[in-house]
Structure 1
């Protein structure tokens, strides 16, 4: 009986399976879509460094940095769907969004200024990244297709 209780507690202590997805505006050309996904992925990685797997080791001992073992599908959505997805997701998972102003300049101070002139509901997004419980994130992105 004691062993069963310990196993049950150990299962409760383990984090719920997480899912990570990036959704990109389907109207973006490949280069801009790749940039938007990379920006979101970089921030998601910084915020969730625990998701990086162990280093990859070759037989000869050569080491490569660990990668995310759960995968990151890159999906597509319309600009309207991105805004709606972001809004719906805020209460259920961690959200990293990338507004259109991010590709309008290479000067981060100008980017910050551009964002400060908008109300939250007025921003348009190029990409949204989500990390959260697998079932919740899957439900949020269920009807979306892979970005190709």
Structure 2
């Protein structure tokens, strides 16, 4: 683990609003390794798109600094493949959506992934995960019927 030696000033970190919610919904049919991968890919992309989702660095009493984590948390839920497609479509007008098409887990070559997606019409894409960031009440209504991924 690389230790950071200098803390960022707390006033330079934009903290997400408590009224925001971040959720990742995973295809319930995925085995644990692929489900973990899907959640990680969506979370990484969501963090890149919204740098404010990374909280202030954690500081130990001896001065050791750890990278900041998401202060509003991420709920990980499960849904069927059909429900993921429907959730993505319903969410687009209301939230930032990060979707992970199934083609992403069929290759380790990103160029091949891009090619595979480019041959599909949008409505025919299927997803292994969908991430949402948006108003707490709106996201809650969109994912209210889904259970925790366990």
CA distance in 2, matches of 1:45, 1:16: 17
Structure 1 segment 1-148 matched on structure 2, within 5 A: 17-148=19-150
Q: Which has the higher helix share?
A: 1
Whose radius of gyration is greater, 1 or 2?
1
CA distance in 2, matches of 1:127, 1:36: 6
CA distance in 2, matches of 1:56, 1:109: 37
3-state secondary structure, aligned to 2:128: strand
| Count of residues paired in the alignment | 135
Deviates more, 1:15-24 or 1:30-39: 15-24
Gap runs ≥5 in structure 1: 1-13
Alpha carbons of structure 1 residues 64 and 104: separation in structure 2 relative to 1, 3 Å: same
Moved runs in structure 1, 4+ residues, more than 6 A? Answer: none
Q: Deviations over 1:25-73 (max 9, x none)?
A: 0000000000000000000000011121110000011000000010001
CA distance in 2, matches of 1:88, 1:16: 23
How big is the alpha-carbon RMSD for the aligned residues of Structure 1 and Structure 2? 1.2
Deviation at 1:16, TM superposition (A): 6.9
3-state secondary structure, aligned to 1:24: strand
TM-score calculated relative to the size of structure 2:
0.88
Deviation at 1:17, TM superposition (A): 1.5
